[in-house]
Structure 1
Amino acid sequence: MAIDVDKDGKVGCAYYIAMDETLVLEEDVSMGGVEAVDTLLLHIQPTSIIIPNRAPGDLIEFLERDAHRFDDNEGSSSEQGSYVLRHLVSAQFDYEAGKEALAKVDLESSRPDPVQVLSLEEEPAHCIGSSGHNKLMRLAESINLDSCLSIGCAGAVLNDLERRRSSEESLSDERGPVLFRVMNIEMNTSTDTMLVGADSLTSLQILHSELHPNPQVRSSNNSEPKAKESFSVSGLLQALASSAQGKKKLRQMLLRPSTDLGLIQERQMSIGVLLRQDNGEIVKNMRRQLRKLKDTKTLLLHVKKGVDRVRGQLSIRIGDWKALLRFAMVSAQLRQATHALAGTSGVAIFSRICNEIDVRRFLFVGDMIIRTIDFQLSKENGHTEILQGASDCLDELRREFAQVCQMLPELKDSVVQGIPRAAVEHIHHCTIMPQLGFLIAVRLDPETAEGVYHGQHNRGGEWVMCFASEDMAYYKNQLMLDLDSQYGDLLSQIADEEIEVIMELSAAVLEHEEAILSASRLFGELDSLLALALAAEKYNWVAPSMTASNVINIIGGRHPLQELLVPSYIPNDCTMVGGCGTGGFEEDSTPTNEDEQGAAPSMMILTGPNNSGKSVYMKQVALIVYLAHTGSYVPATRATIGVTDRILTRIATRETVVNDESAFLVDLKQAAFSTNFATRRSLLLLDEFGKGTTAESGSALFAAYLTYFLDLGAERPKVLAGTHFHEVFENGLLRPGNDVAFAHMDVRLDPQAEDPEDQVTFLYRLLPGRGRASLGVLCAATNDVPRDVIERAEAIVALQERNEDLVAACSELTEEDQRGLEQAELVARRFLAMQVPTFSHGNQDGGSIRDMLKEVLATEGTEDLVS
C-alpha cells in the first residue's frame, strides 16, 4: 500500500491485493489529512506501507505508531506492529512516472488498440497513438487520471512489485514472473458511497478490534492476524456468515455503505425472499451447503503454483482437490435450492445464480478430479495418489514396478549364490530406490562403517557402496547395474508421470478458473445476504423504507448491540428533516407529507442526567441510518430513512501517548472535520462537545457550533447533540426556532430514599423538552464516591441554586473554626502585652520565662499548647 499527502492535506492511495492480483486506486481525498489515512487503514488493513521521503511529519508520526519495529534485542517485550513501514525516494511517487508505469501494465486485454504504432522502441505514454497512450486511454474509462497523488502512488506500488519480482527471479524461482503480477486495475470512487470516517467507525462500534489473546502471536512477524474483531456491528454480523467468501463480502458491504437506492432496495428484496416462511427449510439447507465451501481463490492459487516432488510427495495437498470437488457439488445444490425458492422473480442475485452458474461445467470439473485422484488411498498414505486408470502410461509403469518388486526375493537368492557361504548371513535383502535403482542391503560393521561383506573373494570384484544408514550399508554389484540399465529408474519415471497427470488435471481445472471465481463471488454475495437475513430474524429487525427525501423517521428504534447486553431495552423514536436544498425537496416515489417535513426539526439537542442513555440514543439513530444504507434490515418497529451521504461524529476522544495533542484539541479537530465536510444530507453526532475547557469557553463554543449549522438554512445538515451546558439555553445563547427541538431522557427521583441508588431511577425513555438538571451528584453517590464529598457537593449545588456568592460562602468559617480563631487571637494579645525582664550576662533565669509563657497560654482550651 502506498500513501501520499500533500501540503494542503490531500490524500492519495493505491494498494495491491496479492490474492486477487489486482491494483486498486483510491480517488484523491481533498483536506483528508491523517483522518482520511486512518480510515483507509481500517478499510484496507495493509501488511506493508510505503510513503515518500517528503511525507509530512504528522503522517510519519501517525504511521509509525502501529508500524512493525525491527528490534534485535531478544529480551525485548514490545509488541510488533501490524504492518511494515518503508520510506522511498519521492521521485517514485511522481505523477508522470505513475502514468508511464500504468501504461506498461499488460492486462491481457482482448480489445485491440485503435491505432497500431510500429516502432523499434516503445514510445512514451504521452505520445499520441503509441501503445502506451492507447492503454492509458482505455484505463481512463475505469480510473480517474485527475487523481494525481493516487496515480503517483500506483507508480510506486508497481515499481515495488517489479523489485519483488526481480528478487524472486534472482533466487531462480520459476514462479517469479507469475508472482506479484497485475491482472486487473480498479479505482474506488466516492460516488454512491456513504462517507464514514475512522472516528465514526470506532465511536459507533461498527468496527472494534482487540489484540489477539496469545501474546506470542501478537509479537510474531508472520501472516497470522494480530487482532480479532471484538463486540461490534461487524463482528455481530460476520459471525452469522457461513463461508470465507461471505464474510469478506459482508465486510465490504459494511465498510462501503451505498447511497444507491436501487442497490439498497435490491438487497432488501433479497433479504425479504430469504425471510419468507415457505423458504425456511431451503434457506437452512443453503447455509449448510455454504459452510462446506473454502476460499476458491486460495485453492486455485495452489493449483497455479504447479506441482513438483517434495520428499517424494506431490505438493498439491489432497485437501485442495477435495475442496474443489466439494465446490462443484455444492454449486449444483445451491443452484437447485435457488430454483426452489419462492418469490425470486425480479430479484437480481437469484436470477444471476440461476443463469450464470453452469452446473454441467462444474460437474465436469468434479468428474475429472474423481477420475484422477484416489481419495481413499491418498488418505491412507497421507499424500496425493493417482487413481488407477487415470493414465495408461502410469498404469503400465506401476505394473512393471510391481513385477520388479516380486523379483526382489529372487534377486537376493541370485546374489547369495555367488558369494562365500560365510557371508550369506550378512546379506539382508535387495531393494529399489528412487534415483539410486537396485541395491543390496548388507549388515553394517560399526568399526569400519562399511558392510560386513562387500564383495570380497568374489569373481566379479568388490561391490560399490552407495550409502549407509544406522545399521545397513547399500551396495551395487554388476547384477544391480545390469538391472538398472534394463529397467531404468522406475520410481522416478512413476513420479514424473504422476506430475504430468496432475499438471494435465490442473490445466484442465484452470480452464474454468473465471467461471469458478465468478460463482464463488456470487455465493459470497448470497452468503452475506443470508447473514443479514439471519440477523433480521434473530434480532427482530425490520426493512426500512428508503427515500430520496432528506428525512429520518424512526419508530421504536433500538441499539443493535446494547439491547443484547440488557434484560430489556426501551425503544425510542426519532424524527428529523435536513435542509431541502435550493431547489426544494426532492421528488420521491414514496409519498411524503411536506407539512410534516417542515414541522420536523433538523437539530435535536439532548439534555438530562448522566448515565440516562443520551449517548446510546444518539448512537442507535446513527447505526440505524448506517445499517439501512448497507441494505440491511434495522432494529426498529418502523423506519423511513432518507439518503445520507456521510455520518460525522464528535463522540469518542481517541488519545495516544504518541500524539502530543490534548484531549480538547482532538475534539476540536473532529469538530472542524465535520464543519468542513458536512452537507445537507449528512448526519452529525455531537456528544458533550466543549467539555475539555472552562465552562464559559465550552458553552460558548458549543452554542457557536450549533448556530453555524442552523445558519446554513436550506443547506443545514441533520444534527443530534447532547450536552450538560444548561447555561447555553438559560442565557439565550442559542436562538429558538422550529429547526431546533429539545429532548431528555426520563428519570424518576425519590430524595427521601435512604440508599443513594434508590434516589434516582432511569427509565431510558425519550421525552420532549429540556431536562433541567444533570444529577451529577446523585450519579456520584450511586458510584461509591465518599459521603463527605457528596455532602460538600450538595452544599455547593444548593448555594448555586440560590445564586449566592460562592467565594463568600466558601470562605465562611464553621463554629469550631471561629472558636479556634478567637482563642488564637487572645493568646496573641497576651503575648504582645507580656513584660519580659532584663537579665544580666551569665545570670539568666530560664524558668521564669517559661512560667510567663504558661500564664500567657493559660486560656481555656490552650493548655495542650504548652510543652
Structure 2
Amino acid sequence: MAVDIDKDGKVGCAYYVAIDEALHIEEDIALGGLELVDTLLLRVQPTTVIVPNRAPGNLVELLERDSQRLDDDASNPEKGSHILRHLASAEFDYENGRDVLANLDLEQATPDPIEVLPAGDDSMNLFHSSDHQKLVRLARRISLDSHLSIGCAGAVLGDIDRRRAAEASCLDPEEHSPFQVVSIRMNTPEDTMLISADALISLQVIQSELHPNPQLQYSSNSESKAKESLSVCGLLQALACTAQGKLRLRQMLFRPTTEIDTIERRQQAIAVFLHPENQEMATAIRKLLRKVKNTKSLLHYVRMGVDRVRGQLSVRTEEWRALLRFTMISIQLREAIKLLSGYSSVEILARVFDSIDPRMFTSVGETIFKTIDFKLSKENGRTEIRTGASEILDELRRTFSRICKMLPGVEDALRKGVPAHFACHIQYCAIIPQLGFFTAITLDGESGEGIYNGNDAVGDNWQLGFVHEGIAYYKNNKMVDLDSHYGHLPTEISDEEINVMLNLTAEILAKEEHLITVSELFGELDSILALALAAAKYGWSAPQMTDSNVIDITGGRHPLQELLVPSFIPNDCFLAGGSGCDEPEDRSCQGETSGEGGTEGGSTDGDERGEGSSMLILTGPNNSGKSVYMKQIAVIVYLAHIGSYVPAKSAIIGITDRILTRIATRETVVDDESAFLVDIKQAAFTVNFATRRSLVLADEFGKGTSTETGSALFTAYLAHFLDLGSERPKVLVGTHFHDIFENGLLESQEGVDLAHMDVRLNEEAEEMEDEITYLFKLLPGRGESSLASSCAAKNGVDVEIIERAEDLILFQEGHEDLGVVCGGLMEERNVGLARARTQRFLDMAILGPKASVDGSLREKLEELVYQEDEDDEIGEELDLGP
C-alpha cells in the first residue's frame, strides 16, 4: 500500500491485492488527515506500506507505530503488522503514475467506444493519438482528478515491477508470472458522497483566488496564499468565528455524508439554535466562541516552546493568556448551553456540556493565573513568574533584591578608594546574568578602555570585561568577592523559573487530550452555528431526507446567484431515479421509486406527486437561466447532505451517493488536451460511475465538435441513462440540439420531461436588444428557439452582423444548402457587376473615329474597374445585399 498526504491534509492511497491481482485506487479525500490514514490501515491491513521521502513527520510517526523493526523476532506475537519503506518522491509523481496506468495491458470488460468512432470525421482527429486514446480509456475506469492517489498507484506499480523482476529469475518460463495487474478498481469513501473536483468547481462549492498582492502570491511561506472567492464554502466559512470551526465546516463540505442519522442530528441542532426562545442565547454563545483560539495549536506551542525565559525555551505570554481565556470561556459556554431550550436532546450540545468538567477547567485556569504575572510580563516584554508560585523562587528573588539594594553602597566605597578626579567616572555597579558583578566606567574613546582602569590601585586587580554603548565594564577584587558569594543568584533564579514553567507545562499537557477534545467540540459547535446563521440570514429551510430515490424541491433558489440580483425567481424540481427493483426478491426496494423513475403511490415518505421522470432536458433561449437552474438543484442536494438547511421553500431529498457533472470545461496549457477531449473525459466519468442514486448534470455536452457529431453523441449519452431502466440515475441536462427532437433521434420519451425558461418577446420593439425579456421561470415543454440573435444584440454585437445571421438562419430552417445559396448569390452579383462594367467600357468609345479619351489609357481603365459606388448601387438594384 502506498500513502501520501499533502500540507492541507488531503490523503491519497493505492494498494495492490495479490490474490485478486487487482490494483485499488482510493479517491483523494480533502482534509482526511491522519485519522483517515489510520482507518485505511485498519481496513486494508497491508503487509508493506510505502511513503515518499518528503512525507510529513507525523505521517511517518503514525506508520512507524505498528511497523516491523529489524530486530523483530518472527516468533514474537507483538511484532509490527507491516513493513514501512521510503521511496524517492519522484516515484509518486502524478504524470508518471497516470502514464503507467494508461499503458497497462488490461482486458476490456466492455466494448471500447473509442474504436467505433468515425475516424473520417475531422472533428474526431484528436482521437487519432494513441496517448489520447489510452487516457480516455483510463478515464472510463478511474477519476484522473485524484492526483495524490494516482501518484501512489504509480509508486505501487513500480514496486510491483521490481518484485516481479526479482521473482521471474526463479520461475519456470511456463509458470504464471506473479504480481500481475489484471484489473483496476476505483474506491470511494463509504458513507460519503462522491463529488469530483470538476463538480466542486463547476457548482462553485469552492473557488479560490490568489492574494491581490502579487508579492504574496508566491511567498516562500508554507501557508496557502489563496483566499476563498464567492462560493458556497466561502459563504458558510465567513459565518464561523473560530479557526477550528472553519476547519470543521470545510471538512463537512468536502465530505458530505450519506448517513441519514448524521444529517438529521445536524438539522436537529440547527433547529434548536433557530428556535425563538434560543435566539438570544445562541448569539451569546457565538460571542463567547469568538474569543476562543485553536487550543490544539496553543498546546503545540506549550510543547515546543516559542520564546525565552531567562535564556531558556518557554511559551509566549499571549499563548498562556489564550489558554487561561479558553478555560474561563469553556465554563461560561457550559452554562450558556444549559440555558438553551432542548439542549439535552441535541447530541453535539450534550457532548459539549458533558465534556466540560468545571472543576478541572477551573483548576487549570487557576494554575496558569497563579503562575504567570501577566501585567508584569506585558511591562517587561517577557514571561514573568508571579510571586507565590514558588517559595524557593521567592526566597531567591528576595536575596537578589537585597543585593541590588546593597550595590549603591559598594559604588560609594569604590569612589572613595580612587583618586578624586576619577571618582565621577565610576557610573554604577551591576550584576549581569551568567557573567556576574561588574563596575561600569566611562569609556575613553582614544584608548578604547575606561577613563579609570585601576592602574594606580595598590593590591586591587582591575580587568576589562567588555565594552558596551560607551561604558567599559571591569572586574575588580570587590566584584570578584561579590561573585563568589552572590554570583550564582541569577542562574539559580533562571533555573527555578524554568522548573516552575516546566511544572506548569507538565500539568497542562497531562490534560492535553481532554483540552483538545473540548476544542474540537467547540469547532463542531461553531460549524453548526454557522449553518444555523446561514439558514436564518438567507431564509433557508430544513430538507426532508429520505431513502426514496427522489428530488422534490419547491421554490428552489441558487444561494450565490440570489445575492447578486435584485430579485430571484424560485423554481421547482421533481426527479425520480431508478428503484433498483428488477429482482422481485429484493425486499430492500419496497417503498422506493418505481422502475421507470416515478415514485409509487404508497411512498413511505408522504410524497403525493405520483410517478416522476428520471431525466429533465432543458432547452430554450440563451442567457435565460438554464445553467443556474441546474446548478441550484445540485447545490441544494449537496447542502442537504452536509446536514445544512437549503435555499428552498421545501425539499424532499433522497440519499444521493454521487454528484457528477459535465458543465465547466477547464482547459490548461499544462495538459495537451483540447476542450472537446476534456468534455469527453468528464462525460465518460459520469457514464461509468453513475449509479441509480447519482445526480448527473450535463450542460451543452457535444458543443465542441460539428453539429451532427455533437447531437449524435449527446443523444447516445442520454439514451445510455434511459436504457438503464430501474438503475437509471437522476439526470439534468441542457442543450440547443433541437434536431434530436425534431428528427426523432431520442427514440424513447418515457421517463423524460422537457422544460424551458419563460421569456417574453416584443416584436414591435424599436431596438433589437429590447425584443426579449427574460422571466427566469421554468415552464414545461420544449423551447423552440435559442433567440441567439436577440441575445447577441443585447450584448453589443453589430446590427448588420445579426441581420446577416438571421438571413442565414432562415435559409437553414428552409433546409437549403447554405453553400449553394451563398454561392448563387455571389454568382448573380458578379454577373451583374460584369455587365455594368462592360457597358461603361463601351460607352468610353476608346476606338474608332469618335474616340475621345483624355489622359492615359491605364488611368481610364482603373477608373472604370474601381467605381465602387456605382457597383454598390448595382448590387442594391439586383437585391443582392452588400
Shorter-chain TM-score category? 0.7 to 0.9
Mapping of 1:496-535 within 5 angstroms?
496-535=495-534
Q: Are positions 1:762 and 2:761 aligned together?
A: no
Mapping of 1:424-573 within 5 angstroms?
424-573=423-572
Mapping of 1:173-188 within 5 angstroms?
none
**Could you say what secondary structure the match of 2:688 adopts?**
helix
Q: Are positions 1:799 and 2:747 aligned together?
A: no
Q: Are positions 1:623 and 2:635 aligned together?
A: yes
Q: Which residue of 1 aligns with 2:246?
A: 247
Question: How many Å apart are 1:590 and its aligned residue?
Answer: 7.2
Q: Are positions 1:14 and 2:27 aligned together?
A: no
**Could you say what secondary structure the match of 1:327 adopts?**
helix
Name the aligned partner's letter for residue 625 of structure 1: V
Q: Are positions 1:105 and 2:64 aligned together?
A: yes
Distance 2:82 2:855 in 1: 112
8 Å CA contact 1:103–1:132 kept in 2: the answer is no
Distance 1:524 1:478 in 2: 63
Name the aligned partner's letter for residue 15 of structure 1: I
Range 262-271 or range 809-818, more displaced: 809-818
Q: Are positions 1:696 and 2:695 aligned together?
A: no
8 Å CA contact 1:547–1:590 kept in 2: the answer is no
**Could you say what secondary structure the match of 2:424 adopts?**
helix
Question: How many Å apart are 1:735 and its aligned residue?
Answer: 1.9
In the superposition, relative to structure 1, how do residues 390 and 26 fare at CA in structure 2: closer, same or farther (>3 Å)?
same
From 816, 822, 825, the equivalent of 2:835 is 822
8 Å CA contact 2:554–2:649 kept in 1: the answer is yes
Range 275-284 or range 309-318, more displaced: 309-318
From 577, 581, 604, the equivalent of 1:591 is 604
Question: How many Å apart are 1:650 and its aligned residue?
Answer: 0.4
Mapping of 1:757-796 within 5 angstroms?
757-796=769-808
8 Å CA contact 2:191–2:259 kept in 1: the answer is yes
In the superposition, relative to structure 1, how do residues 131 and 832 fare at CA in structure 2: closer, same or farther (>3 Å)?
farther
In the superposition, relative to structure 1, how do residues 389 and 734 fare at CA in structure 2: closer, same or farther (>3 Å)?
same
In the superposition, relative to structure 1, how do residues 851 and 367 fare at CA in structure 2: closer, same or farther (>3 Å)?
closer
Mapping of 1:3-82 within 5 angstroms?
13-15=3-5, 26=13, 40=28, 43=31
Distance 1:823 1:134 in 2: 94
Question: 1:180-204, CA deviations, whole angstroms, 9 ceiling, x for partnerless residues?
Answer: xxxxxxxx97110000000000000
8 Å CA contact 1:325–1:369 kept in 2: the answer is yes
Mapping of 1:177-326 within 5 angstroms?
190-306=189-305, 309=308, 312=311, 315-326=314-325
Question: How many Å apart are 1:357 and its aligned residue?
Answer: 1.8
Question: 1:102-128, CA deviations, whole angstroms, 9 ceiling, x for partnerless residues?
Answer: 9972379xxxxxxxx9x993136xx78
Distance 1:318 1:663 in 2: 56
In the superposition, relative to structure 1, how do residues 848 and 215 fare at CA in structure 2: closer, same or farther (>3 Å)?
closer
Q: Are positions 1:611 and 2:623 aligned together?
A: yes
Q: Are positions 1:643 and 2:643 aligned together?
A: no
Distance 1:400 1:102 in 2: 47
In the superposition, relative to structure 1, how do residues 345 and 738 fare at CA in structure 2: closer, same or farther (>3 Å)?
farther
Question: How many Å apart are 1:214 and its aligned residue?
Answer: 1.3
- RMSD of aligned C-alpha atoms? 3.8
Q: Are positions 1:662 and 2:674 aligned together?
A: yes
Mapping of 1:326-341 within 5 angstroms?
326-341=325-340
Distance 1:859 1:371 in 2: 105
8 Å CA contact 2:441–2:473 kept in 1: the answer is yes
Q: Which residue of 2 aligns with 1:386?
A: 385
8 Å CA contact 2:550–2:576 kept in 1: the answer is yes
Distance 1:27 1:425 in 2: 80
Distance 1:647 1:499 in 2: 57
Name the aligned partner's letter for residue 655 of structure 1: E
Question: 1:600-634, CA deviations, whole angstroms, 9 ceiling, x for partnerless residues?
Answer: 00000000000000000000000000000000000
From 72, 86, 95, the equivalent of 1:122 is 72
Where in structure 1 are there 5+ consecutive unaligned residues?
5-11, 31-35, 47-89, 95-99, 109-116, 137-146, 158-187, 837-846
In the superposition, relative to structure 1, how do residues 501 and 510 fare at CA in structure 2: closer, same or farther (>3 Å)?
same
Distance 1:291 1:192 in 2: 32
Question: How many Å apart are 1:801 and its aligned residue?
Answer: 2.9
Distance 1:831 1:771 in 2: 60
8 Å CA contact 1:307–1:499 kept in 2: the answer is no
Question: How many Å apart are 1:780 and its aligned residue?
Answer: 0.4
Question: How many Å apart are 1:348 and its aligned residue?
Answer: 1.1
Distance 1:827 1:852 in 2: 15
**Could you say what secondary structure the match of 1:811 adopts?**
helix
8 Å CA contact 1:681–1:718 kept in 2: the answer is yes
Where in structure 2 are there 5+ consecutive unaligned residues?
18-24, 35-48, 54-58, 85-145, 157-186, 593-601, 872-882
From 132, 140, 143, the equivalent of 2:80 is 132
Distance 1:706 1:308 in 2: 64
8 Å CA contact 1:464–1:477 kept in 2: the answer is yes
8 Å CA contact 1:28–1:150 kept in 2: the answer is no
8 Å CA contact 1:193–1:645 kept in 2: the answer is yes
Distance 1:355 1:593 in 2: 37
**Could you say what secondary structure the match of 2:65 adopts?**
coil
Distance 2:667 2:856 in 1: 63
Q: Which residue of 2 aligns with 1:679?
A: 691
Mapping of 1:353-364 within 5 angstroms?
353-364=352-363
Question: 1:314-342, CA deviations, whole angstroms, 9 ceiling, x for partnerless residues?
Answer: 64111101110111011111111111111
In the superposition, relative to structure 1, how do residues 756 and 821 fare at CA in structure 2: closer, same or farther (>3 Å)?
same
In the superposition, relative to structure 1, how do residues 760 and 637 fare at CA in structure 2: closer, same or farther (>3 Å)?
same
In the superposition, relative to structure 1, how do residues 442 and 556 fare at CA in structure 2: closer, same or farther (>3 Å)?
same
Distance 1:484 1:26 in 2: 64
Name the aligned partner's letter for residue 758 of structure 1: D
TM-score (norm 1): 0.78
8 Å CA contact 1:274–1:280 kept in 2: the answer is yes
**Could you say what secondary structure the match of 1:526 adopts?**
helix
Distance 2:279 2:493 in 1: 52
Q: Are positions 1:710 and 2:710 aligned together?
A: no
Question: How many Å apart are 1:470 and its aligned residue?
Answer: 2.9
8 Å CA contact 1:378–1:385 kept in 2: the answer is yes
Distance 2:520 2:795 in 1: 52
In the superposition, relative to structure 1, how do residues 501 and 16 fare at CA in structure 2: closer, same or farther (>3 Å)?
farther
Name the aligned partner's letter for residue 28 of structure 2: L
Distance 1:745 1:543 in 2: 27
Distance 1:133 1:570 in 2: 59
8 Å CA contact 1:605–1:721 kept in 2: the answer is yes
Name the aligned partner's letter for residue 401 of structure 2: A
Q: Which residue of 2 aligns with 1:84?
A: none
Question: How many Å apart are 1:25 and its aligned residue?
Answer: 6.4
8 Å CA contact 1:101–1:155 kept in 2: the answer is no
In the superposition, relative to structure 1, how do residues 851 and 709 fare at CA in structure 2: closer, same or farther (>3 Å)?
closer
In the superposition, relative to structure 1, how do residues 647 and 91 fare at CA in structure 2: closer, same or farther (>3 Å)?
closer
Distance 1:594 1:366 in 2: 55
